[in-house]
């Protein structure tokens, strides 16, 4: 009997998450933003949304939320929205699990930009110290130029030139 406990708990959690996601179907725009045709930063902009505008939430995909603004359905970055029924702008368990499922399924082609770090504040960065063990482990994943060329040939990769983008103040 104990072998069925984990699958039953998983199914129960997923059912609860779906119910929680469905109850959170309204959102408010926290800052002026663009309504995009697809969940990508470089997608076509359908319209501009104003601060405090109410929206109907249709679905979620990673860091994007599909919404209905009057008669137009499109995508908005999740950080531009405050969901009604959530406390302090936080997310509930259902939306967390749903976005995890969305990530597991994969995403369509296109580019996505992440624009924030949730859960960290200025105080978190004041007393940073290097993690030398992790740094050494990271260095173990590096490849020298000859090894990288061999790998590229084996994988049929083509060399490309990429111009550097100059930052403000660069000469």
pLDDT in tens, 57-72: 999 888 899 999 888 9
With respect to residue 53, please indicate whether it lies within any of the assigned structural domains: yes
pLDDT of residue 10: 58
Mean pLDDT of 133-146: 88
Mean pLDDT of 30-55: 92
With respect to residue 8, please indicate whether it lies within any of the assigned structural domains: yes
pLDDT of residue 63: 87
With respect to residue 144, please indicate whether it lies within any of the assigned structural domains: no
Total of domains in the chain: 1
More confident residue, 33 or 117: 33
What value, to the nearest 5°, has the Cα angle with vertex 153 and ends 147 and 155?
A: 100
Distances (CA, A) of 106 to 62, 78, 100, 134: 9, 18, 10, 28
Rounded Cα distance between 45 and 37, Å, is 6
Give the rounded percent of residues in the chain with a pLDDT score beyond 90.
27
Rounded Cα distance between 27 and 81, Å, is 6
Q: Read off the pLDDT band of 168 (50, 70, 90).
A: confident
pLDDT in tens, 43-102: 999 999 999 999 999 998 888 999 998 889 999 998 899 887 644 444 455 555 555 555
With respect to residue 15, please indicate whether it lies within any of the assigned structural domains: yes
The CATH number for 17's domain is: 2.30.30.40
With respect to residue 163, please indicate whether it lies within any of the assigned structural domains: no
With respect to residue 111, please indicate whether it lies within any of the assigned structural domains: yes
């Amino acid at each position: 009997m104990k072998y069925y406990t984990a699958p039953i708990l998983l199914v129960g959690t997923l059912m609860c998450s779906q119910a929680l996601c469905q109850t959170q179907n309204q959102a408010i725009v926290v800052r002026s933003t663009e309504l995009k045709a697809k969940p990508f930063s470089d997608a076509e902009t359908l319209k501009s949304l104003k601060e405090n505008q109410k929206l109907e939430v249709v679905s979620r995909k990673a860091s994007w939320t599909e919404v209905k603004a009057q008669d137009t359905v499109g995508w908005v970055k999740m950080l531009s929205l405050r969901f009604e029924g959530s406390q302090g702008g936080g997310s509930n368990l259902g939306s967390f699990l749903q976005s995890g499922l969305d990530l597991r399924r994969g995403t369509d082609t296109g580019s996505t930009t992440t624009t924030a770090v949730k859960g960290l504040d200025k105080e978190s960065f004041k007393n940073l110290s290097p993690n030398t063990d992790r740094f050494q482990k990271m260095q173990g994943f590096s490849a020298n130029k000859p090894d990288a060329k061999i790998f590229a040939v084996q994988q049929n990769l083509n060399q490309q030139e990429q111009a550097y983008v100059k930052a403000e103040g660069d000469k």
